[in-house]
């Protein structure tokens, strides 16, 4: 049992720590170039290759997308009610508490726990969350919706392309699939190291009120997991799909929420503190899945 747990978490934690060290000691993660490479090339290639490689038809894929959307709507409504009861600004905190880090944390966690066959499923869920970042996230924090940004989003386009190919039962040539596989292989390690670098360089000196960030850090993964479990009772999925869905919904506060909060003058200090705290809670959930 201990060996299985170590094997599942060691690569994940090692790359996060390596990213934290490199983020402190080097300028490898400075600027937008590396992040842009992953977003515009690596993630779309990984998503398209994973969707076309997994044994998941268009109906099953639509079912997973539909359940993820239902979870997002329910999570947003419940969180909005919680924030109103707490007397806090809904638009400022809602995106961070709703959106899990399904990308640079969730995908590697699913890979470690369930193997390569889970990547496609994790990527489908992550793509839906990314769409929500550009709709619910930016809409809440800025007060406006950017259709142009959504249509230029590489993972969204890759998801649509994969769905179209699955719908027509079309296969890409082997050399093209190999190219997508090679491009996608850069994605997970870089995302993990970027996460480590982001956490290591967060400036938390202004976060004096610890009660609220700690409470939200527990709410984000545990609330997401509980809601996912309830939804699966009325909208069941197959074994692996259900496991991946539960894990993805239990991921920590997304780094993207911090980035958007800084850009649109949101509560960035609180959200910065919530990222590492909620990550600790999510890793505890991951350990429970590994031991199960």
CATH number at residue 279: 1.20.1530.20
| Interval 253-270: pLDDT, tens | 987 788 778 777 888 778
Domain of 66, in residue numbers = 2-291
143 φ/ψ sector (left φ>0, alpha ψ -120 to 50, else beta): left
CA distance 89 to 78: 14
- Indicate if the pLDDT at residue 188 is higher than 90: no
Residue 107 pLDDT: 85
Residue 1 pLDDT: 45
Residue 220 pLDDT: 96
Looking up tokens 């690569």 gives 11
CA distance 17 to 35: 18
Which residues, 6+ apart, have CB-to-CB distance to 61 below 8 Å? Answer: 51, 124, 162, 163, 166
Spatial contact of 140 and 93, defined as CB atoms under 8 Å apart: no
- Indicate if the pLDDT at residue 227 is higher than 80: yes
Q: How many domains does the chain have?
A: 1
């Amino acid at each position: 049992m201990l060996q299985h747990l170590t094997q599942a978490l060691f690569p994940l934690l090692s790359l996060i720590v390596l990213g934290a060290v490199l983020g402190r000691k080097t300028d490898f993660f400075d600027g937008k170039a590396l992040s842009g490479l992953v977003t515009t090339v690596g993630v779309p290639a990984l998503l398209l290759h994973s969707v076309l490689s997994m044994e998941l038809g268009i109906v099953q894929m639509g079912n997973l997308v539909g359940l993820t959307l239902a979870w997002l709507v329910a999570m947003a409504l419940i969180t909005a009610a919680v924030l109103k009861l707490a007397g806090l600004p809904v638009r400022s905190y809602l995106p961070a508490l709703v959106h899990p880090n399904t990308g640079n944390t969730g995908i590697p966690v699913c890979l470690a726990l369930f193997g390569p066959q889970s990547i496609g499923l994790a990527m489908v869920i992550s793509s839906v969350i990314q769409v929500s970042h550009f709709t619910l996230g930016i809409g809440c924090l800025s007060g406006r919706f950017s259709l142009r940004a959504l249509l230029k989003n590489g993972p969204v386009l890759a998801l649509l392309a994969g769905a179209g190919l699955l719908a027509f039962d079309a296969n890409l040539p082997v050399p093209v699939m190999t190219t997508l596989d090679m491009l996608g292989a850069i994605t997970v390690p870089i995302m993990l190291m970027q996460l480590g670098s982001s956490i290591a360089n967060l400036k938390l000196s202004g976060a004096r009120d610890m009660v609220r960030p700690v409470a939200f850090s527990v709410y984000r993964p545990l609330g997401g997991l509980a809601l996912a479990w309830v939804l699966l009772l009325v909208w069941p999925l197959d074994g692996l799909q259900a496991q991946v869905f539960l894990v993805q919904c239990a991921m920590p506060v997304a780094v993207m929420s911090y980035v958007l909060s800084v850009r649109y003058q949101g509560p960035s200090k609180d959200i910065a503190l919530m990222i590492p705290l909620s990550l600790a809670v999510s890793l505890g959930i991951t350990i429970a899945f590994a031991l199960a």
